[in-house]
Structure 1
Amino acid sequence: MKKLFFNAIFFSALTVIFIGCSAASKTEQMDIQEPKIEEPKEKIIIKEKIVYKEKKVPVYITKEPKQKDSKIILGNYEYVYIPSENLKLKAKIDTGATTTSLHAINIKAFERDGKKWVKFTLENEKGELINKALPISRIVYIKRHGAKNQKRYVVQMRINVANSSQLVDVTLTDRSKFSYPVLIGKNFLTGMVLVDVSKKFTQEPIKKAK
Structure 2
Amino acid sequence: MTRKSKQLIGALELGNLPELGIHNLVMRIDTGAATSSLHVDNIQEFDKNDERWIAFDIHPDIHNVKKTIRCEHKVLSQKKIKSSTATRERRYVIKTLLELGSRKWRIKLTLTDRSEMTYLMLMGRQAMNGKFYVDPEYDFVLTKPVTPQGGEVK
Relative to the length of structure 2, the TM-score reads 0.82
**How far off is 1:88 after superposition?**
2.0
Find the counterpart in structure 1 of residue 99 from structure 2: 160
Find the counterpart in structure 2 of residue 170 from structure 1: 109
- Measured on the aligned residues, the alpha-carbon RMSD in Å equals 2.2
Regions of 4+ moved over 2 Å: 66-70, 142-147
Find the counterpart in structure 1 of residue 18 from structure 2: 83
Q: Identity, % of aligned pairs?
A: 28
Equivalent AA in structure 2 for residue 74 of structure 1 = I
Instruction: Choose 1 or 2 for highest CA Rg.
Output: 1
Find the counterpart in structure 2 of residue 190 from structure 1: 129
State the Cα deviation string for residues 112-167 of structure 1 (Å, max 9, x = none). 121111111100223310000111101011246786x4111000111111222111
> Which runs of 5 or more structure 1 residues have no equivalent in the other structure?
1-65, 206-210
Relative to the length of structure 1, the TM-score reads 0.61
Q: Determine which structure has greater relative contact order: mean sequence separation of CA pairs < 8 Å that are 6+ residues apart, divided by chain length.
A: 2
**How far off is 1:182 after superposition?**
0.6
Which residues of 2 match residues 61-210 of structure 1 at below 5 A? 67=2, 70-84=5-19, 85-125=21-61, 126-127=64-65, 128-143=67-82, 149-204=88-143
Find the counterpart in structure 2 of residue 29 from structure 1: none
SS of 2:53's equivalent?
strand
* Distance in structure 2 (CA, Å) of the matches to 1:204 and 1:131: 27
State the Cα deviation string for residues 11-39 of structure 1 (Å, max 9, x = none). xxxxxxxxxxxxxxxxxxxxxxxxxxxxx
* Distance in structure 1 (CA, Å) of the matches to 2:31 and 2:18: 23
For these two proteins, the number of residue pairs brought into alignment is 139
**How far off is 1:68 after superposition?**
9.1
Asked if structure 1 preserves the Cα contact closer than 8 Å seen for 2:22 and 2:60, the reply is: no
More helix by share: 1
> Which runs of 5 or more structure 2 residues have no equivalent in the other structure?
145-154
Distance 1:121 1:150, change over 3 A: same
